Every structure is written in C-alpha cells, then in structure tokens.
Amino acid sequence: MTDTAIRSPVADPAAHKAQTTVFGVILAVSGCHLLNDMMQSLLPAIYPNLKTDLHLSFGEIGLVTLAYQITASILQPLVGLYADRRHNPMLLPAGTLFSLAGLVVLSIAHVYGLVLLGACLLGVGSSVFHPESSRVARMAAGERPGLAQSLFQVGGNAGQALGPLAAALVVVRWGQSSLGVFALLALLSGAVLWNVAVWARHHGLARLASGASARVALDLPKGAAAKGIAILLALIFSKYVYMASLTSYFTFYLMERFHLSVGAAQMHLFAFLAAVAVGTIAGGPVGDRFGRKAVIWISILGVLPFTLVLPYASLFWTGPLVVIIGLLLASAFPAIVVLAQELAPGRIGMISGLFFGFSFGMGGLGAAVLGEVADWKGVQTVYKLCAVLPVLGLLAAFLPNTRRR
C-alpha cells in the first residue's frame, strides 16, 4: 500500500491549516467590537444634553434613536450581501471612518439636523462593521465556529457595558464636545482592522473555500434552509424583546416594586449584564460540542420557567432569577448565528448582517413598545407580558438537523 493510498484529508497540510483556529484574528475583531459598541452606546449618553441645549421633545429624541436604528439594522444585510459577492476586507477599516465622522459631528452638533446626521453616520459605521467582522471571525474559526462567534460577540457585550461608564466619567463631566475625544478610539480600531483586513485578503477566502466550514454539506429537503432561517429569526425576536425589557426597564421595576435606590437597582442590572457576558462566551463552544439545536432549545425554551416566576418573586429571589435568565438567553445568539451560517454557507456575510441587524431592530422596537406598555399599565405589567415570550422556543423543534454527508 503506497503513502498516497493511506493519506487522509486531515493529513494534507493545507486542509489542516484551514481547520486551525486563529485566535489572534478573533481576539482582534472582538476587541474592535468592544470599541465599536462602546462608541455606539455614547449616543444615548448625550440625550440629556441635547434635550436641554436644543430644547428637544421626547418625540424628537425618539427620532434620533430611530435614525440610528434604521441605519444600524436595515443596511447590515445589504453590506453583508455585498461582502459575499465582492470579497473586500478593507471594508472593515473603512467602516470605522463613518463612526469617527459620526462622533465628530455629534460633538459639534448644535442644530437638530446635525444630530440626525451624526446618528446616521454612527449607524452606518455599525452596519459596515458587524457583518464583515463576523465573517472574518468565521474565516479564523477553523473547526470551532461557535467559540469564535462567542469570543467575537462578548467583545460587543463588554463595549455596551463600558459605554455608560465612559459616558459617566467623561461625557457627563465635560459635555457633548468630549465625544470628539472618543473619535480617537475609531482611529485605533481602524489601525487594528487594517491588519485584520490584510490577513483576510491573503488567507481568509482560501480558508472559507477549503476549511471545515466549507466542507459541511447539508443533506436537507428543498426549502428546509429557508424555513430554518425564518424560525431562527422568530427566536431572535423572542430573545431580544425580552432582553430589551431587562436592559431598559429593570431598574425602574426594582425601584417601583421593591423601593430600591437607583444605585442598588443598578447593581442588579450589572449582575444581569455580567451573566449575559458569561452566557455569550459559553454558548458557542457548548454548541460546538453538543450541537447548535440543543443549545437553542435550552437557551430559549429552558428560560421559560424562570421568566414566568420572575414577576411574582421576592427581592431575594429576583437577583438569582435574572442571572439565570441572562446566562441562558445570551447563550442562544452564538448558536443561532452559526446555525444560520451553516444553513446558508455561501452567504456568511449576508446572514451575519441579517441576524445582527434584526437583533438591533427588534431590541429597539421592543424597547419602544414596552415603554408604551409601561406608561399605560405600569412597568410590572411589562414583565408579566414578556414572561410568555420564551414559549416561541417550541419552534426549535422544527429546526433542521445539520449533519455532514
């Protein structure tokens, strides 16, 4: 028997290299995800300044949020589709220029039109960053796409948590003009992403073509992939509307029901956000080990008993309950994104943009609708209504089983 006859695909150096996980690239895009989401979260921090200085109504403030959300969500799948058709990793550093321009415009915006322009520029920067950076994370993942997606996403979670802290330390103290200082972070992110883009140009596309992600051939009936993606979007709706109820109104709930101080309520919110970060890290590698569908089942439907109990729990149990809810719900997103990418393996950028954009949009829409509910029926009603959202996790039963041929 010759050497050629016994050589396995794994023994081929090129194939083996494509299966390795490039942690340097993944950590680079995760760090830039932190900087990007921290810069994006500075926009709400200047709302009090804008309302006072420009004499804005709450409706006009809402339009600023809408301008950001539209550009940050609707454009993402379009950018991802373009990236799939025209492999151009230099979109990554170029996208940071929009975020830089948005922060500079907002720092000098003393008329309402400039505020809207700055919000739109920030949204465009986010739209360019998320689909292409998620696509690069998949290139660097090798045979561990869940882990790569988790590490990438936890950077965004950290950025969202650091944004309010940065705003409290800098923007509240020095005012709207201090946003120009944070534009330097966009330059730092651009420099890192330039090197990532060079790596992706020389190695990324070849890894997608010959790596493990490209070798997964799905044996699915016609239309099963489209149905699976529709189900995953429904699960995103369930997850992010419930998450919006906690990130936007949980402190008000604790202050109204248990008469906590602002500081004590914020500590409970911090515990929830910390649990979200841990759950995000865990969801991807657990999906690599035990399968995406199992993680989605446990994350969405498994949280239902805890969401049903939460509106009736005492203060002692409320803290542990929201930590469990955060851990379980956050673990779903990496598994959902990777499963969707496996269902449409030739459209990784478009799928990433679609799911990140849809999550942005559902989070913003959910916060707006739940705010109206809170004004109408009280904030405690919000959690009684949202408690049933995880029932949509039953749809996970109809997800296709992905397997190698």
Domain membership flag for residue 1: no
| Cα–Cα distances in angstroms (integers) from residue 325 to residues 113, 161, 254, 273, in the given order | 40, 18, 16, 10
Contact 43, 64 (CB under 8 A): yes
Q: Looking at the structure, tell me whether residues 210 and 290 fall in a common domain.
A: no
Q: 352 with 134: CB under 8 angstroms? A: yes
Is residue 300 domain-shared with residue 169, that is, in the same domain?
Answer: no
Specify whether 208 is located in the same domain as 235.
Answer: no
Which residues, 6+ apart, have CB-to-CB distance to 270 below 8 Å?
A: 161
> Are both 374 and 296 inside the same structural domain?
yes
Residues 355 and 371 grouped into a single domain: yes
Q: Which two tokens stand for residue 281?
A: 């890290």
Q: Could you give phi then psi for residue 402, rounded to 5 degrees?
A: -85, 135
* Residue 303, in any domain of the structure: yes
28 in any annotated domain: yes
Q: Are residues 106 and 150 in the same domain?
A: yes
User: Encoding tokens for residue 43?
Assistant: 């926009």
Task: Give dist(CA 388, CA 296) in Å, integer.
Answer: 17
Count: domains in the chain: 2
| Per-residue exposure over 364-374, b if at least 16 CB sit within 10 Å of its own CB, e if not | bbbbeebbebb
- Answer for the pair 149, 337: CB distance below 8 angstroms, yes or no: yes
Q: Exposed, middle or buried: residue 141 (CB in 10 Å: 0-12, 13-18, 19+)?
A: buried
Q: Which residues of 310-322 are buried (b: 16+ CB within 10 A; e: fewer)?
A: bbeeeeeebeebb
Domain boundary (161, 193, 215) is at 215
Alpha-carbon span 233 to 253, nearest angstrom: 28
Domain final position from 199, 215, 231: 215
One domain, residues 204 and 224 = no
Residue 3 lies in a domain: no
pLDDT in tens, the chain (405 residues): 333 333 344 445 555 555 788 889 999 999 999 998 888 878 877 777 777 788 877 677 778 877 887 888 888 888 888 878 877 788 889 888 999 999 999 988 889 999 999 999 998 998 889 888 888 888 888 888 888 888 888 888 888 777 767 777 777 677 777 788 888 888 999 999 999 999 988 887 777 665 444 444 456 677 888 899 999 999 999 999 999 888 878 888 898 899 988 778 878 888 888 888 888 888 888 887 888 888 898 889 899 999 999 999 999 999 999 999 999 998 988 889 889 988 887 788 888 888 988 887 888 788 778 888 888 888 899 899 999 999 999 999 898 876 544
Q: 175 in a domain, yes or no? A: yes
Q: What is the pLDDT of residues 190-237, one digit of tens each?
A: 999 999 999 988 887 777 665 444 444 456 677 888 899 999 999 999
297 and 340 assigned to the same domain: yes
Place of tokens 């900087």: 35
Residue 4 lies in a domain: no
Task: Please report the pLDDT score of residue 219 as a whole number.
Answer: 61
Here the CATH number for the domain that contains residue 45 is: 1.20.1250.20
Q: Note whether 110 and 225 are same-domain residues.
A: no
**158, 187, 215 - which closes a domain:** 215
Q: Are residues 303 and 261 in the same domain?
A: yes
Alpha helix positions (H), 223-347: 224-258, 262-290, 292-300, 304-309, 315-330, 332-343
- CA-nearest of 201, 235, 200 to 362 is 235
Cross-strand pairs, 218: 404
In the chain, the amino acid numbered 283 is G
Whole domain around residue 192: which residue ranges?
A: 9-215
Same domain, 226 and 205: no
CA dist., res. 395 & res. 398, Å (int): 6
Same structural domain for residues 298 and 378? yes
